[in-house]
Chain A
Amino acid sequence: MLAALARRLAAGLAVVAGVATLTFFLLRLAPGDPVERLLGPAATAEQLAAQRQALGLDQSLPAQYAAWLARMARGEWGRSIASGRPVRAVLAEAWPATAALVGLSLLLSYLLGIAVGAVQAARGGTRLDTALSVSTVTLFALPGYWLGLMLVLLFTYRLRALPSFGAHGYDGDALAGLARLRDLLRHVALPLATLTLVGIGGTARFVRGAMLDARAAPFVTTALAKGLAAPRVWLHHVLRNALVPVVTLLGLSLPALFSGAVFVEAVFAWPGVGRILVEAVQARDYPVVMAATTVSAFLVVVGNLLADLLLAWVDPRIHYRSRET
């Protein structure tokens, strides 16, 4: 178990390092100069050169890469070129917002998606199954950013019930205790609903297929033949075995979910890594882009590891296999 975990960890770190290196070279190869954007069109050639030297952008690419590696290893992530704030502080504020949004919507969309898929599989071929299939394929086809806008149209503009942007209101800092929590919940409601609804579609479709696969297995026929009650068979034999591919999907769907979060954060101005990334990419803010990509890759890798651990818990056979190796 430990050896297998260590191997996964090493592979994960390789992915993070690879993402960071790829980003570094993509950024430097692309047209567009952060110094020109920083100093504006009125800057003289000398000013540009001086600023470039100050930021270390006048050196050769390999030299810049080596210097960047050394700084990363020391934990120095530099300052944002656009705002001058330390990159660490910018991201330290942002990543919990993204992790909370993605984590909560993952939890909700899996619980609801498994429930919907299970009901469909158990009532396969009925009108209920068809109706739910139509709903899930529609949810699956909804782009998060558009669903988000439609929810804003309904809940913010028509019903005037929920706020449409940010993580807290203008008076958020002045609130305390329950009032503050209520404020936060009201703000998270629409982005969370958007991500969750889109997620339910994909999960339910997959769970339905996985459960029908498990339903066709001989051991289910055996269980029914020896007289076990149908609900018990569905719960303990079918659902339990269908969970194995579902948990595998959980790990694989994390990058997609994070991608969805990037768009949803942009729509709702949710103060997370995705929004920071979009803004920094547009401003050619090299240090922030580097750090935000690295952090997002890291979040995805950690999520994948957690899914692996969950898989070993759901499927005991995986324990034995890794113990033998």
Chain B
Amino acid sequence: MKRETGRVTWVLRDHRGRFGTIVLAVAVLCALAAPVISTGDPAAQRDVVATRFLPPLSTDLHGVVHPLGTDRFGRDVWTRLVYGARISLGVGTLAVLVSVAIGVVVGAIAGFSGGLVRPVLLALTDFALALPRVVLLLLLAALWRPSAALVVVVLGLTGWMSIARLVQGEVRSLAARPFVEGAAALGLRRARILARHVLPNALTPVIVAAALGIGNAIMLEAGLSFLGLGVQPPVPSWGNMIASGRDTLLNAPWVATAPGVALVLVVMACTLVGDALQDALQPANRGQTPR
């Protein structure tokens, strides 16, 4: 495990990993400190007519500065952006945790059991992988009452397949190694061998997949909210902010631009951290991912 931590600090020495980590750290800090660094209420509307559509860096009648301007209800875009970060980062992370949990369980069972279990689980995974994900997301998200919790469940349920495949492959190759045979010869139960000896060694590629998956989940959450099927206004999410900015694109382009830029930066950071982790944890492939 110590060796692994050493490799993780290697990520910080890689310039992609450093950039990505800094962006993510800033985003997480802004989300956590949202009440302190903003006006405090993302849904606050004072005097709609006097304060709406103020361009970035302007000061309104009440003397409040709006670093990113205001939207059509006079709400502060910066405040909504940092509160929206809570939704985007939270939903993205939780959704990936759900996917990883399902994927690891399915992959471990498929990789470690013989008989019919493996082909059945693999066929199920392949089937789920062939489903158009957004079609399923649309169905699930539109049919039940939209909420952040539903988006987490839906994204988690539709994102576990690639992780299951990765874990299955790793577990299968590890199961054939001598130390597993040794553990079995010592009389350990198979479930214990899987949990204590095989799985910990199979999780390396899962870390990389999870980093990439968070970026993807954040993008999909924003997409669902953009279509009106995710987080519902007035609760701010980057997706529903872009949707509301879409209607005022001509006279207030900053409303849609700001959350989009934030989204791109965070997704890019996840990808870069994933690339750097890949190189750090699987040195054989070092240099293969784009720098």
> Which residues of A does B touch, CB under 8 Å?
14-15, 18-19, 22-23, 26-27, 30-32, 120, 124, 129-130, 133, 136-138, 140-143, 145-146, 149-150, 152-153, 157, 205, 208-209, 212-213, 255-256, 258-259, 262-263, 266-267, 277-278, 281-282, 284, 289, 293, 296-297, 300-301, 304
Contacts and interface: CB of A to CB of B under 8 A. Distances in A.
Contacts of B250: 157
A-B pairs with lowest CB-CB distance, top 4: A30-B143, A259-B134, A141-B267, A141-B268
A278 B245 CA distance: 20
B3 interface: no
Contacts of A18: 127, 131
A297 B250 CA distance: 37
Identify whether the interface residues of B are mostly helix, strand, loop, or mixed: helix
Given A141-B267, A143-B219, A212 B133 contact: no
A130 B136 CA distance: 37
Nearest to B145: A31
B290 interface: yes
Interface stretch (B25-33, B47-55, B199-207, B222-230): B222-230
Given A143-B223, A266-B226, A289-B139, 8 more contacts: A22-B131, A26-B139, A26-B143, A141-B215, A153-B253, A259-B132, A297-B131, A304-B130
B69 to A, nearest CB: 15
A153 B228 CA distance: 21
Contacts of A297: 130-132, 135
Interface string B280-291: 000000011111
Interface string B174-217: 00000000000000000000000000000000000000000100
A242 B97 CA distance: 33
B256 A149 contact: yes
Dominant secondary structure at the A interface: helix
B288 A209 contact: yes
Interface string B252-291: 0100110010011101100110000000000000011111
A208 B291 CA distance: 11
Contact of B271 (A120, A137, A153, A267): A137
A208 B289 CA distance: 8
A136 B16 CA distance: 14
Interface size class of chain B, counting residues whose CB lies under 8 Å from the partner chain: 35 or more
Contacts of B149: none
A136 to B, nearest CB: 7
Interface in B117-159: 127, 130-136, 138-140, 142-145
A140 B139 contact: no
Contacts of A212: 287-288
B172 interface: no
B169 to A, nearest CB: 16
B268 A137 contact: yes
A212 B284 CA distance: 13
Contacts of A213: 288
A263 B144 contact: no
